[in-house]
Chains A and B, each alone.
Chain A
Amino acid sequence: MTDLTSLTIAEARAGLANKSFTARELTDAHLAAIEAARVLNAYVLETPDRAREMAKAADEQIGKGEGGPLAGIPLGIKDLFATRDIRTTACSKILGNFVPPYESTVTSQLWRDGAILLGKLNNDEFAMGSSNETSCFGPVVNPWRREGSNTHLVPGGSSGGSASAVAALLCMGATATDTGGSIRQPAAFTATVGVKPTYGRCSRWGIVAFASSLDQAGPIARTVRDSAILMRSMAGHDPKDTTSVDIGVPDYEAAIGKSVKGMKIGFPKEYRLDGMPAEIEKLWSEGAAWLKAAGAELVDVSLPHTKYALPAYYIVAPAEASSNLARYDGVRYGLRVPGRSIGEMYESTRAGGFGDEVRRRVMIGTYVLSAGYYDAYYLRAQKVRTLIKKDFEDCFAKGVNAILTPATPSAAFGVGEKGGADPVEMYLNDIFTVTVNMAGLPGIAVPAGKDAQGLPLGLQLIGRPFDEETLFSLGKVIEQAAGRFTPPRWW
């Protein structure tokens, strides 16, 4: 039964429907795989009892022919999503043993549709990081290794636990969140599919907030189809999130296999960086050729403000984070470090509870919002953000359906290799993904090839607002041409 974990969601759905196996068997196979893969540190909390309870309920529903679209499908949940009565920490010491008395909207919709919770997945502290090394539970290990090497590589971040668990067959799919690339970059590092939906597509309610104007939830899965299946359950209007958009959720799966003939695909010259590895350049051209062969038309486009997206992001995101994280004061929940006065208690609690990266971002955010600097930094960055969005609007106005770019400027790197001396070195990981968040657009990362060391590389497609369907259709073309990539099991 161990190979049950290697099924896709679509295959498992069929197997459950025709009674080839039960949800309980599928769940037990995953729980055993999780236990055998603790060296990867992908899960920060395993919930086997809850999983078996949910599997029992799913089997009953399937038996009665009343199973939902995800009935019996075991998933992992990023520890940024509040799960009722199950510890939720954002992988920060400051949340301590926080046990939410409520459920995030996105996860509640997954349970509504019959999915099973296997446990909570590791991530960078408060989703701030690109390597999953800032988690208070320690780094996650990528199931991929360089050929002939035992060096532990990072899975990317911030959704590193989600990406690693999906790639290593420790869940059939996972929830993730993306503020500057946190779904797409780890997906690219682990040969998984990651979807960052349009801003407003998925409710943010019950997700620990990082930068509210950029945060968006989405799935990580092993195939484009699986990601479309998960998206349908995760998306939808929620009155509890004022930025959630009130439009219907299409059947994303129906977009898989749809013809892309005649679609115009933008090829932006600004994404060609000096010093970019030749392999990535080659992969990018290959991706263009695959889409062309499927009948799409490739057009050169210009997004002139691309290079300013990352610096503008490093003003906007920390500014919003400094405001969102003001709530961690040691009074209502989480860690408290005692002090003689209330002020001393606040300062000691926050010093003791926040890790280095979070402290750095809260401080820079506080600075750019402070009197005398607001106009020079924050206001200017928000104006640049308008220009970045306009670049995309101009491009789409010319009839471009989607834009093709590399997902990351490199393959996965070693644990402890980057960002030690200069935090900016780590930030550069998100150079191709961050523009999408700044403009509120949907993006998908699809595995497309390997580098000379045998590590996976991904391509990114950027779509028009609320046109995730086109991304699924195009993503499927890339997947079909590139094939799927599975890491050899060493753990």
Chain B
Amino acid sequence: MSVDATTVRRIAHLARIAVSEAEVPHLQGELNAMLAFVEQLSEVNVEGVEPMTSVTPMEMKKRADVVNDGEIADDIVRNAPATENHFFLVPKVVE
């Protein structure tokens, strides 16, 4: 399989990465090189094979349902590009 220019633009949008028109042909070439490389997987017989979900056979651990953290709002907003009090600021979302 290979991707066309329209698909490259669609993937970029899904990934939320701005891509200029000038970059599309180059990206298309790179993505198609990767897709050509992984194409060989189609020759493997995977009938009846379970997809791997956990590389180590172990049960998912569960922790006690208790509050053991909090009151660290200063720490949480400390690295944000724009804040007010303890809120993250973003461009207007709702008119």
B16 touches A439 (CB 8 A): no
Whether a CB of chain A sits under 8 angstroms from the CB of B22 is: no
Q: Across the interface, do B52 and A386 meet the contact criterion of CB distance under 8 Å?
A: yes
Chain B 59-95 near chain A by CB (<8 Å), digits 1 or 0: 0110100000000100110111110000010111100
A334 within 8 A of B: yes
B58 engages A245 (CB within 8 Å): yes
Give the residues in chain A near B11, CB-CB below 8 Å. 363, 366-367, 370
Q: How far is the CB of B89 from chain A (nearest CB, A)?
A: 9
Give per-residue flags for A340-352: 1 if the beta carbon is below 8 A from chain B beta carbons, else 0: 1111111110110
Q: Which residues of A319-347 have CB atoms within 8 Å of chain B's CB atoms?
A: 322, 326, 329-336, 338-347
Is A261 in contact with chain B by the CB < 8 A criterion? no
Beta-carbon contact of A422 and B33 below 8 Å: yes
Residue of B whose beta carbon sits closest to that of A100: B79
- How many angstroms between the C-alpha atoms of A322 and B31 in the bound complex? 14
Give the docked Cα–Cα distance between A243 and B60 (Å).
Answer: 8
Q: Are B46 and A380 in contact (CB under 8 A)?
A: yes
Chain B interface residue count, CB cutoff 8 Å, equals 52
A252–chain B nearest beta-carbon distance, Å: 19
**What residues of chain B lie closer than 8 Å to A315, measured between beta carbons?**
38, 41
A450 to B81, CA, bound (A): 49
A438–B54 alpha-carbon span in the complex (Å) = 11
Interface of chain B, main secondary structure = loop
Within 8 A of B (CB), among A232-261: 239, 242-243, 245-246
CB distance from B86 to the nearest CB of A (A): 12
Is B79 touching A99 in the complex (CB atoms < 8 A)? yes
In the complex, A198→B35 CA distance in Å? 30
Over the window 121-141 of chain A, the binary record of Cβ atoms lying under 8 Å from chain B Cβ atoms (1 yes, 0 no) is 000000000000000000000
Chain B 18-34, CB-CB to A under 8 Å as 1, else 0, gives 11000000010011011
Determine the distance from Cα of A310 to Cα of B8 in the docked complex, in whole angstroms. 23
Q: Which residues of A contact B14 (CB under 8 A)?
A: 366, 370
A322 to B90, CA, bound (A): 23
Does A383 touch B at the CB level, under 8 Å?
Answer: yes
Q: Can you list, as one digit per residue, whether each of A374-400 has a CB less than 8 Å from chain B (1) or not (0)?
A: 001101111111110100000000000
The one of B15, B30, B53, B63 that contacts A366, using a Cβ cutoff of 8 Å? B15
Report B-chain residues with C-beta under 8 Å of the C-beta of A376.
Answer: 1
Task: Kindly report which residue of chain A lies nearest to residue B45, judged by CB atoms.
Answer: A387
A312 contacts chain B at the CB level, 8 A cutoff: yes
Chain A: CB-nearest residue to B35: A364
The 8 closest A-B pairs by CB, nearest first: A440-B55, A382-B51, A333-B79, A336-B81, A101-B75, A351-B18, A347-B18, A383-B46
30 contacts between A and B (CB under 8 A): A101-B78, A200-B56, A242-B60, A312-B41, A315-B38, A315-B41, A331-B80, A332-B76, A333-B79, A334-B79, A334-B81, A336-B81, A336-B82, A339-B91, A346-B16, A347-B16, A351-B17, A363-B17, A363-B27, A363-B31, A364-B31, A366-B11, A366-B14, A367-B31, A370-B14, A381-B38, A382-B52, A383-B46, A422-B33, A438-B55
